Amino acid sequence: MASTTRDIPVQGPHGTQGLGHETTNIGMGERWISAVGGGALLAYGMLRRDRSSIATAIAGGTLVIRGLTGRSLLYRLVGFNQVGGTYPSVQKSKTINRSAEELFRYWRNFENLPRFMDHLQSVRTTGHKTSHWVAKAPLGSSVEWDAEIVDERPNELIACRSLPGADVYNAGSVRFEQLPEDRGTELHVTFEYNPPAGFVGALVAKLFGEEPNLQ
């Protein structure tokens, strides 16, 4: 199935996010933990003064800088910001050589989604507008949630969100735009999620931010 894709820049509270954008993205609690823990590692490494402690001292110094500046490169790479309550989001557009009606029907059966979304393990329909989702997480674990459809327009739009109690809050929509002259359909996919705090949460965010492998 022929397709083309393009990324859409995601606008954050300070404009388009990029690797060169210097902004605080770590909450105060995690900054204190980084600074104190990093200081302890740095002191331990400097006191030992042997070859094996060099890596410990470097790691400690990195954590101290992280705590003092409130900036995390990993968080910036995955679009995660603990400050200001902003959630990372993914926006994609893709043209597929199929009709909007066919794509809508395929997508509306959520149990088809793990076939082209690598981070999904399974989706099970539980009602006319509800479903249960299981996604991959770091270290061989998984996260689960129940979701409901909040807006649906045949052959045009599907929007859903997680229900209370989800391991990871998320909401998303897909819009189907039929192109003229039998040029297929352009999909506009938007996905927002709130991963758990910390390093593991950032890895979860990276998984959720993967582009769907639409064919």
Please calculate the CA angle 139-67-57 and round it to the nearest 5 degrees. Answer: 75
Check: CB of residue 66 under 8 Å from CB of residue 37.
no
Mean pLDDT of 75-90: 59
Q: Which residues of 72-83 are buried (b: 16+ CB within 10 A; e: fewer)?
A: beebbebbbbbe
Q: What are phi and psi of 178, to 5 degrees?
A: -70, 125
d(CA 214, CA 166): 26
Give which of 89, 97, 79 is closest to 179, Cα–Cα: 97
176 vs 18, residue with greater confidence: 176
71 vs 203, residue with greater confidence: 71
Check: CB of residue 165 under 8 Å from CB of residue 159.
no
7 vs 42, residue with greater confidence: 42
Give the pLDDT score at 47: 83
pLDDT at 5 over 60: no
Number of C-alpha atoms within 13 angstroms, CB side, residue 138?
A: 11
119: which 2 tokens?
């981070």
- Work out the pLDDT band at 16, boundaries 50, 70, 90: very low
* Architecture of the domain delimited by 3-13+85-208: 2-Layer Sandwich (3.30)
pTM, two decimals, is 0.58
